[in-house]
């Protein structure tokens, strides 16, 4: 069934596609329209287009979290470079408890740890993550639970 959500999803997908493409020839634009229409069609046929499909109220939190994560990634890049230049790596493997309620929140937290240079989530069992850190400083950053609290805050926006 075609409704306002279908149109909204199409225009969001196509707008993002235009932003990321950078090429605006007739052939490329028509391929973009076709691919976005196909995505909307598959979303409708799969029954994924429901009340939670386009949670517009969630976007401000997501933007704020993304900016915070980019800042953390940049800080960790600098720390990683220092560790490599000074040859002061002291790897450690430790566990940290996740406070997220949903699987999406847990995955977001695990991926955020891995996206941050110097740390990698190696295993997830229930609410406990095993994390490898390049040095104890990176481990302390994860154990401080600041990222856990930010993901929990992001999750509450859903």
Q: Is the pLDDT of residue 61 over 80?
A: yes
What angle do helix axes 59-86 and 146-156 make, rounded to 10 degrees?
160
Of 53, 72, 69, 67, nearest to 158 (Cα)?
A: 53
Same domain for 147 and 96, yes or no, is yes
150 and 95 housed in the same domain: yes
Q: Does any domain span residue 55?
A: no
Mean of pLDDT values over 70-75:
94
If one compares 43 and 50, the residue with the highest pLDDT of the two is 43
Range of the domain at 106: 60-156
The string of pLDDT tens digits covering residues 111-121 is: 999 999 999 99
Tell me, what's the pLDDT at 23? 85
Average pLDDT over residues 6-22: 89
N-term to C-term CA, the chain: 25
Contact in structure between 142 and 119 (CB atoms under 8 Å): yes
Tell me the percentage of the chain whose pLDDT exceeds 90. 61
Domain count, the chain: 2
Higher pLDDT, 50 or 152: 152
Query: Does residue 27 share a domain with residue 68?
Result: no
Q: DSSP 3-state helix, strand, coil percentages of the chain (rounded to 5)?
A: 65, 10, 25
Closest CA to 119 of 98, 134, 97: 134
18 lies in some domain: yes
The average pLDDT across 77-87 equals 92
Nearest to 155 by CA among 70, 19, 29, 58: 58
Please compute the mean of the pLDDT values over residues 33-59 and round it to a whole number.
79
Q: What is the pLDDT, as a whole number, of residue 157? A: 62
**Residue 53 domain flag:** no
| Residue 47 scores a pLDDT above 90 | no
pTM of the model: 0.69
pLDDT at 103: 86
pLDDT for 149 equals: 94
pLDDT of 48 higher than 60: yes
Average pLDDT, the chain: 88
Per-residue confidence (pLDDT) for residue 118, from 0 to 100: 92
Q: Is residue 54 in a domain? A: no
**109 within domain boundaries:** yes
Residue-level pLDDT at 44: 82
């Amino acid at each position: 069934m075609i409704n306002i959500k279908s149109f909204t999803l199409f225009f969001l997908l196509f707008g993002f596609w235009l932003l990321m493409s950078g090429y605006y020839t007739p052939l490329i634009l028509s391929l973009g329209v076709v691919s976005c229409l196909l995505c909307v069609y598959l979303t409708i046929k799969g029954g994924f287009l429901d009340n939670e499909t386009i949670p517009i109220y969630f976007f401000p939190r997501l933007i704020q979290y993304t900016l915070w994560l980019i800042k953390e990634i940049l800080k960790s890049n600098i720390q990683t470079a220092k560790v490599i230049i000074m040859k002061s790596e002291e790897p450690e493997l430790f566990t940290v408890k996740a406070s997220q309620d949903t699987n999406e929140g847990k995955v977001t937290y695990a991926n955020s740890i891995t996206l941050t240079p110097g740390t990698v989530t190696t295993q997830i069992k229930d609410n406990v993550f095993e994390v490898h850190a390049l040095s104890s400083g990176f481990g302390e950053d994860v154990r401080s639970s600041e990222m856990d609290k930010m993901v929990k805050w992001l999750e509450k926006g859903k």
